[in-house]
Chains A and B, each alone.
Chain A
């Protein structure tokens, strides 16, 4: 008889809820949405960007929720995890809250600093070249997003979450620095493709048991 490792059994059951690939597809679509949000057209930033982002994100979330409700749950079933996972989720919320507060504080300090004549002059001198300014903002932007997403992957216990975190940080960097939506679209597709593969495998692995469900 194989050894029963209860911790591993719980982890396997937990990870199985991510094997439908819906999360990856949703994140991929959200990254594609980011291209509308972060793209700065030469004609100026249009409110249409915001409308497109909101519409695209709403679509991604709606597809995710509908997929979970109508495809995943009837095939895979539903599970409620124990105290350990609830604690982990709460810790994640607290840690992310602290990270966001820290980032907000950094932004405020930066904003206040820029308004300070001496400090502002120093920054303007440092970022005289447009390229240096873009590079600094792009690096800062990716540093804001990347570590937070890595924390999410860690708390979700999801190995491919680290790949997604790096990809999202790269998207933010490339979008700010190069200002070309194509990078976000390509990275979004790179994130979503494994999700599509997982989804197809999921459909094969978990067929619908209509008759059995009725008798249940």
Chain B
């Protein structure tokens, strides 16, 4: 799963949905793979407004990427900043979590990731 996915995903337990601690899920023992994809500036500039930047900063730091700035760039700033475009492209679209766990900060449940596929099925006591 691409790192961008983590911006849209939260704990699958109903009771966690209302807790801010359940988002974003925290990667643990994450093995990363990198794809080589041609950068599409237009795509990144467009996706920017729908990103939860604070969550992305957390995810980025937790998988060992350099700290993102506290505030997201504006679309104009991103368009003019080739390095920022490259960095975001690499983080969001080229990087995948292939193995490891995703941990909910609220209930503590650990979702396994195997071969790039996370398993969000809950044990019966959490449903």
The answer to whether A and B interact is: no
Query: Taking beta carbons and an 8 Å cutoff, which residues of B are in contact with A?
Result: none
